[in-house]
Amino acid sequence: MNHNRIGIVGWKDKSADLALALEMIAEWSKTHKEVSFCALESLKEVSPKNIEIVTEDALRKCDLLLAIGGDGTVLSTARIALGTSIPILGVNAGHVGFLAETRVEDLKTTLDLIQAGEFSTRNRMMLDAKIFREGKQLACETVLNEVHIRARALERMVNLLVEYNGRYLTEYWADSLLVSTPTGSTAYNLSANGPIIHPSTSAFVLTPLAPSSLSVRPLIIPASAICQISSVSDSSLNLVFDGRINNTLESHDKLVLSQSESVTTFIRMKNTGFVDALREKLGWTGKPKLA
């Protein structure tokens, strides 16, 4: 499969690696006239002249999207690609770059391999988060990583009632609550001592941050479940979707979480995978070696 039009997503203030990646793409394109490149408007000031500057709508017509940056850039790219089948290639120009499949210095070789068909694709599940008020749907966000439910005043805790498939599960009294996909399990969820979930697992996890009860632990539930969350108190709550999009949950609102029909498709190169990422990007060194 050839990719004749490739879109680029990045943020110009991220790092010098982004400028290097754009230069490498411009150089590669000189010997691959069959491929055209376009970049998001945020890269207008740093993109070489042979890379067209376009809107998000135009990026949705590309055959492939390059997300050049950290995992936040990949999440933004997933949002752009939502509702399409456009695959995403993460190019690490950030720090950990857990979702990145290649490094900037390997970009030309990676593009060669992609054009030669030396790759595969993997779908990652997403969650639909719907807000209801008096039975009427007010909003819906689709996330690749997580939904973060927290108090509007950061010094306050949240008191949340959770239902699982229409049945009472529990009340969480905690600093906040994360609802994470397998992809999001290696993000904020991991920092909050939540479990790592293999991306092929059809499940999501509820992880309370600093719960008041020592018996409360993260809970993995099947992706087929419907999870409903509401505030027990009269105060409004903040909802943060994939760390970027914000909304409000009022005291009598319902937040309904379920597996989305949409997925995010990632390019995967040969000899890479989730196990390699765990070992290399999280620094899993195994048993210390004796001198």
Could you give the residue numbers annotated as active site? 71
Q: Which of 260, 259, 261, 257 is nearest to 228 (CA)?
A: 257
SS3 191: helix
**Is residue 69 within 8 Å of residue 99, measured between CB atoms?**
no
> E strands of 110-214, at which residues?
119-133, 136-143, 146-151, 158-164, 167-174, 176-180, 203-209
Cα 264 vs. chain centroid, distance in angstroms?
Answer: 9
Distances (CA, A) of 194 to 170, 217, 227: 18, 9, 18
**In angstroms, what CA-CA distances link 114 with 75, 108, 110, 122, 153?**
21, 10, 6, 14, 47
What are φ and ψ of residue 110, in 5° steps? -65, -40
d(CA 25, CA 28): 5
The strand pair at 158-164 and 167-174 is best described as antiparallel
Contacts of 222 by beta carbon, 8 Å cutoff, 6+ apart = 202, 203
Cα torsion through 106, 112, 114, 115, rounded to 10: 160
Q: Are 83 and 160 in contact (CB under 8 A)?
A: no
Helix (H, G, I), strand (E, B) or coil at 88: strand
